[in-house]
Chains A and B, each alone.
Chain A
Amino acid sequence: MSHHLVRLEDVHFGYPDGTPALRGVSFELHHGESVGLVGANGAGKSTLLLHLAGVLFPSSGRVRVGDWPVTPETLGHVRQTLGLVFQDPDDQLFMPTVADDVAFGPLNLGLPAEEVSARVGGALERVGAAGLSSRPPYRLSGGEKRAAAIASVLAMAPDVLVMDEPSAGLDPAARRRLIGLLRSFEHTKIVATHDLDLVLDVCARTVVLREGRVAADGPTAGIFGDSELLEACHLEKPLRLQGCPRCGG
């Protein structure tokens, strides 16, 4: 296996209506890294994630996940290596019960029933949702749905965990629990989000996208300290790094 787990080389992509979404994105992700993917609306974050999961393919350039180039022929391997948690958990949860939903991926991998059962139990335990296993997903709260959606991906035992706006729609307590959960994962992670405070807590490295290009790539602390860069990319410093509104300190 190569020492980098995800690699994008000069990836270009435009939507059928002619809108260019990615204009030469390149970066590498190494084992165990946690990377925040940030940028304004329309910067290309979600499009990039869909390329990693092999939902979209570049018009030019190459994407590689683990030992596999992302092509229509390698999708089975790619999707076993990389798990994508969607922005809206309702898109991801479609089975009658949470346990059925978490079992969906492992069953499609053709695993035996005992292994599926162990993975379902383990994944739900991992996200603190063991008590939800027999509940129908549409009756869960936002935080519970998010946990179930993450469990449904964890059950496939991916090497890379990719998340699109994981804290969207969560109340502060659920968001805090999510941050704790993400920090506890030993997986290689890519987190696309507008929640820069979450990136500060979870990701040591940050990639900033601007109009389909990588505007910056480096340690999170350094990037979030660069006010000019953030402003040019329509971002703001995380609240924690902003001065106190009362004393200005």
Chain B
Amino acid sequence: MTRADGITAALSHLGRFDELAGANTPIARVDPRAKLVTTAAFLVTVASFGRLEVSALLPLGAYPLVLLALGDVPLGPIVWRMALVSPFAVLVGAFEPFLDRQPLGSLGPIVVTAGWASFASILLRFALSVSAALLLVATTGLDAAAAALAWFKVPKVLVVQLLFLYRYLFVLSEEVARSLRAHALRSPNHPSPRIRVAGSMLGQVLLRTLERAQRIHVAMACRGFAGQVRLRRPLRARLSDIAFVACWCTYFALCRVSNLPRLLGTAVFGVAG
């Protein structure tokens, strides 16, 4: 696969999120504001745990798992995107095992140090937060999520920036894919552009992208766009949406104040985990 094909495939995957959000699933039907509030509460809960906490975080995995299952979201695209950004989390936590060697306990013959626990906690928190954010977009759509943000009085300029950023991501990627393809066809022995060519190519791509972005903006203005996000399905909160927020927030609070795996271990085996 050439780089241009790779970009086209990545675009297609990105567009898949919009298709998923349009599906008629129990999670897609939940009001975008309810999902936004619940996900925000989830992220705050995840971030509020101590740096060495691992087992108490595990029950929070229920939220992304439920979104995944009831939202009928395929696992592949989510895992792929998490893998793409995972180097950041790995880099952040990679030095922990070397910096903090204080023993915390043991798993059989293996001594677990505070550094390793911290590393595991960082990775777990990363997985929970990123998967929840991705699933929010996959089950809501960026337009609806932006409308929900606007409803919560997030400044209009930020919401519109977010929407344009997402839309122009497609525009920019298409231009890059076209340029790479044109280059590869006329440079069969060096499919990747050399640095001098890449510089001029990037400049051309930027100029073409700006022109195209202007045309899209004109097309939007011609159809009455004046900076306000409007949805085909207007935001309408039902009792079930309020119950969705209430139930999940209660669950998150429960996870935060008590270590559910430890409680379960004590109840079943009579020993603390």
Residues of A within 8 A of B (CB): 50, 53, 55, 75-76, 79-80, 83-84, 86, 88, 91-92, 94-97, 99-100, 103-105, 107-109, 113, 116-117, 120, 134, 136, 138-139, 152-153, 156
Contacts and interface: CB of A to CB of B under 8 A. Distances in A.
A55 B22 contact: no
B159 to A, nearest CB: 15
Interface in B195-242: 212, 215-216, 218-226, 228, 230-234
Q: Is the interface of A mostly helix, strand, loop or mixed?
A: helix
A105 B232 contact: no
Contact of B232 (A55, A80, A92, A100): A100
Contact of A55 (B19, B143, B216, B221): B221
Contact of B219 (A80, A92, A103, A138): A92
B15 interface: yes
Interface in B56-95: none
Contacts of A80: 224
Nearest to A80: B224
Nearest to A96: B18
6 closest pairs, A vs B, by CB? Answer: A108-B224, A96-B18, A105-B223, A107-B230, A91-B215, A103-B232
A210 B224 CA distance: 32
A107 B170 CA distance: 23
Q: Is the interface of B mostly helix, strand, loop or mixed?
A: helix
A117 B233 CA distance: 10
Interface string B126-150: 0000000000000001010000000
Nearest to A99: B232
Interface string B11-28: 100010011011000000
B18 A152 contact: no
Interface residues of B, number: 28
A213 to B, nearest CB: 25
A94 to B, nearest CB: 5
Contacts of A96: 15, 18-19, 21-22, 141, 143
B224 A76 contact: yes
A79 B224 contact: yes
Contact of A94 (B216, B233, B234): B216
B166 to A, nearest CB: 10
B77 to A, nearest CB: 15
B167 interface: yes
Nearest to B170: A138
Contact of A108 (B170, B215, B226): B226
A113 B18 CA distance: 21
A83 B222 CA distance: 7
A91 B18 contact: no
